[in-house]
Structure 1
Amino acid sequence: MQLFTLPGFVATTWQQAFPQLEVVTDSNPVTTRNDIVWIISQTENWQQRIQESIKQHNQVIVLSRNPNTEEFKSVFALGARGYLDALSNKQILQTAYQGVKAGGLWIPEDIVNSMIGNLQPKLPATPKANLSVLSGAELKVAQKVALGESNKEVAEDLNICERTVKSHLTSIYQKLNLRDRMHLMLHMQDAGL
């Protein structure tokens, strides 16, 4: 398994997650076959390296120093199977690897939330949902989540800790009898918020 990065940009979590990982900081060709190749999106010719890796029957996971929706779209258009922050922790790296190796995709929560938030105005209107059971703080959290914000973004916007956001979400799910974030977003849309 190879990881292509910039000279001087090596995270210790990469080697912790994958002790057998070959970290490449120059323009060497892809030598891995039928495995996972990791590519930092800012490396030289990184788009071509994605295509080269795929031609050699590898699955590609792109690591970004600044993950964003536009880069995500271009990465997946090139055929990559995963996209995440280059400084992700060991567990996230391993989970992404296992998911992609099993044939799945790995997309960061923030990107998924943003994409879902972008769909919101395109969905048809439905009767208003009842939100009167929520406290003021819970309603604010629900509104932010409905816009596609991550827990971290909600916490920053409302000047509360991320743990408090998670606590509010648990309470919201129980009060509104919802299973998850996606159902909350749809419920909030039903409420016209």
Structure 2
Amino acid sequence: MRVAITSKSFNAPHWREFFDETISVDEVPRDCLKPEVESIWISTAIRGWKQLASSLMESNKVVVILTLSPSSEEAKVAFGLGVRAYLHAAASAELLQNVSTTIAAGGYWLPQDMLLRMVGQFNDVLPAKQVNDSKLACLTHRELEVCREVAHGHPNKRVAKNLGITERTVKEHLSRSFAKLNVKDRMQLMLLMNGNHFR
């Protein structure tokens, strides 16, 4: 059983398709501790969401935070409390299902842009590994520059600004680089650029 707890001022229509129960409250409900509740999804629209999450964690409930305005700082607070996932409250029903599947399997969920930034920050703390130069030799100078920016976890907008090119050009360079390096997405590119090998 999945339960969403939100304020009376915020509710997403598609939640009805996903949650078994949606509780709109101004105060923390007590009945969400029923044994049949597998996961509790708390909206940051609730005053005291941190205290609610903390108390539910003490009751060994799986807690997910639905935020109205995602930020790295808020995500750190949420995961510091022990929650299993942090995502935008307006996420699609399909994404909610993906998150549910991930946490049911024991995993954690973080928005992709935050995850990419976090992986990019590893460049500063992990010992440098040399990427096989022959793998990167197929890239043009500009494609390599774009890939290095992405390896630091920078979004396209920042890559464009740093390199003095348009976001469209960044996308074109990335598209060609993905094909040349035989990678599917930014995460695989980051792992490759950071010297980690994958299949």
- Length-normalised TM-score, structure 1: 0.78
What stretches of structure 1 move > 3 A for 4+ residues in a row?
126-132, 135-141, 150-162, 167-171, 177-183, 186-190
Residue 22 (str. 1) matches residue 25 (str. 2): no
Work out whether residues 30 and 49 of structure 1, in 8 Å CA contact, stay in contact via their aligned partners in 2.
Answer: no
Q: Partner of 2:93 in structure 1?
A: 90
Please, which runs of 5 or more residues in structure 2 have no aligned partner? none
Work out whether residues 63 and 85 of structure 1, in 8 Å CA contact, stay in contact via their aligned partners in 2.
Answer: yes
Q: Partner of 2:107 in structure 1?
A: 104
Match of 1:71 among 74, 88, 95: 74
Distance in 1 separating the partners of 2:183 and 2:156: 17
**Pairs within 5 Å for 1:34-49:** 34-49=37-52
Q: Identity across aligned pairs (percent)?
A: 33
- SS of residue paired to 2:7: coil
Distance in 2 separating the partners of 1:59 and 1:89: 20
Work out whether residues 138 and 172 of structure 1, in 8 Å CA contact, stay in contact via their aligned partners in 2.
Answer: yes
Distance in 1 separating the partners of 2:5 and 2:141: 48
Aligned residues: CA RMSD: 3.0
- Length-normalised TM-score, structure 2: 0.76
Q: Partner of 1:5 in structure 2?
A: 6
Give the CA deviation at 1:183: 4.5
Q: Partner of 2:139 in structure 1?
A: 134
Work out whether residues 30 and 53 of structure 1, in 8 Å CA contact, stay in contact via their aligned partners in 2.
Answer: no
Match of 1:52 among 48, 51, 55: 55
